[in-house]
Structure 1
Amino acid sequence: MSDSETGGSTEQMTSRNILGSLLKSGLHEMNRERSGLLLSGLSAGLDIGFGPLMMAVVLTLSPGTFGDLTTELLLASVYSVGFMFVILGRSELFTEHTTLAVIPVIDRQASVRQLGRLWGLVYAGNIVGGLLFTLLVTLLMPELGVVDPTSFETIALKLVDHDLPWLFVGGVFAGWLMGLLAWLVAAAQDTTARILLVLIVTGTIGLLHLPHSIAGNVEVLFGLIVSSAITPMDYVAFLALATVGNAVGGAVFVALLKYGHVVRGAD
């Protein structure tokens, strides 16, 4: 086992090493079997649902609500739980691959068709996994006793109660942060550092209430199922604009810029 795997190495990776690691990882994922990608995406879609579920629990049990500093910080912290399960568990999350998979295409080691195949399979698995998680929790919710259905409505409205341009721009920022997280996790030398990075970056997304297409898929689906205030059109509009925004944010602000500065002489 290497020093980096045991947490014993303190040497910082160079930008070129990080880029090389992401290239290798992206090419590996592109060459995986279709069933493996789908199952990994399904697992990620299921696992990430624990974040929105814990947010609903916090809103139910907390005396405060959105706008209260303590409650907001708690919500942002538990929002990160699902991302920790996914990223540390090495499941496939669509918003990570907006960076990981674009880089091999920019480097001309993979085709746009391969990129589309990877994105499509992972995204489909993520969405279906999120739907299954939502249905399971909805069935169990009356017996849990710690979740008020109105909490799900409150969380969903926080995402869909915006103008459409905001959903896209907010999605760009969320994708930017997720792409940056993928880059930073590749640079991290131990598990503790990775946990802190996931907590800080995804907690920022949660604190700013930015639309993340996969976690948000679960958040809005919960609201759609338990509340008449959330309509199917709200869900479709959110998912479409958040997805496109996430892809643009990760591909442009991380993949293109990071790749460009590294190949032009960064260490």
Structure 2
Amino acid sequence: MADETGDVDDLKSANAKELHRAVREEGEEELRRPLASLFWSGIAAGVAINTSLLTEGVLHQHLPDTPWRELITALGYPIGFLIVILGRMQLFTESTITAVLPLVSDPTRESLLRTLRLWGVVLSANMIGTAIGAATIAFGGLGSAGAHDAMIAVSLPILDHAPFATLINAVPAGFLIAILAWTLPNAREQSFLVIFAVTWVVAICGFSHSVVGSCEAFLLFFSGHADGLRTVFGLILPAIVGNLIGGAGIFALLAHGQVRGEMTKEALKQRKEERRQRRLDRRGAKSDQHG
């Protein structure tokens, strides 16, 4: 019996380390991408994520005013995530864990700067994309007049929260989206269902997601329901901070903590060698440019 328990524990440990490695390598790949690639992928994600708001609006428009209306309307929320994640676009809240695992595994100044670079570019691009999408909905006559009004109706509840309440409400959203990014390498064949289930939970619980929430916030701004200061500092910024706390500050550290003690000296040595090689490559590139 003891041997069987030991085998199960060894399997869990191996699975956790394998997941950690898979997510960390995905983060390393993202961190190595050129700024232009990150930026345009982030804009594409910001525009595409508006599909969540569009779908929710259409469902809200055609459903009767009943107690279960919000539960069914929330089925539209995962659509944008499915498009963005399965389309391999850059979404800020996914990178709260993928970019942090390389950092906590190799906590150096260089790693920190690479992580901040990724977050800065992707978050800025996501915000530009959501603003473009929201402006198109508000001014471009996208969809019917009824759908437009329904999208505003779906967005209005975010005004019920003070900035601190929005921040607190964003922590579990960041945690759940980080869980999603952590789970996907082990659930490739069930990716659709995993993405759908996790993001639907975010929607029905009313948690604040910084990117989808910015779609709603920008729509309310462009339609005159919120001023610029409240849009940025009362709605968007608190959600960003809360998502970071939940994703990078809580889940990423917990995910790393469960395997930290088992990481071998060989793995640490390999990462140091990879870091040294990156420095040599950069020096070589600079030499070529001066030559």
Q: Contact 1:41–1:122 at 8 Å: present in 2 too? A: yes
| TM-aligned CA deviation for residue 146 of structure 1 | 6.0
1:252 and 2:244 equivalent? Answer: no
33-42 or 11-20, larger mean C-alpha shift: 11-20
In 2, Cα distance between equivalents of 1:72 and 1:48: 19
Q: Contact 1:75–1:207 at 8 Å: present in 2 too? A: no
1:56 and 2:57 equivalent? Answer: yes
Q: How many residues align?
A: 249
In 2, Cα distance between equivalents of 1:138 and 1:233: 19
Q: Contact 2:45–2:84 at 8 Å: present in 1 too? A: yes
| TM-aligned CA deviation for residue 265 of structure 1 | 4.5
What is the identity, as a one-letter code, of the residue corresponding to 1:28?
A: E
1:213 and 2:207 equivalent? Answer: no
Q: Contact 1:40–1:92 at 8 Å: present in 2 too? A: yes
Q: Which runs of 5+ in 2 are unaligned?
A: 1-10, 264-291
Q: Which runs of 5+ in 1 are unaligned?
A: 1-10
In 2, Cα distance between equivalents of 1:161 and 1:234: 12
Whichever structure has more helix as a proportion of its residues is 2
1:83 and 2:81 equivalent? Answer: yes
Query: Which residue number in structure 1 is paired with residue 46 of structure 2?
Result: 45
Query: Which residue number in structure 2 is paired with residue 135 of structure 1?
Result: 135
2:96 pairs, out of 98, 110, 116, with 98
| TM-aligned CA deviation for residue 80 of structure 1 | 0.4
What is the identity, as a one-letter code, of the residue corresponding to 2:246?
A: G
Deviations 1:65-100 (A, max 9, x none): 6xx22x222222110000000011110100000010
Deviations 1:136-176 (A, max 9, x none): 2234426x326344323322221121122211111111100
| TM-aligned CA deviation for residue 256 of structure 1 | 0.3
1:74 pairs, out of 72, 78, 100, with 72
In 2, Cα distance between equivalents of 1:165 and 1:244: 10
120-129 or 133-142, larger mean C-alpha shift: 133-142
Query: Which residue number in structure 2 is paired with residue 116 of structure 1?
Result: 116
Identity of aligned residues (%): 29
| TM-aligned CA deviation for residue 32 of structure 1 | 0.7
In 2, Cα distance between equivalents of 1:146 and 1:60: 10
**Secondary structure of 1:95's partner?**
coil
Q: Kindly report the root-mean-square deviation, in angstroms, between the aligned alpha carbons of the 2 structures.
A: 2.0
Alignment of 1:228-247 (within 5 A): 228-236=224-232, 237-247=234-244
1:194 and 2:191 equivalent? Answer: yes
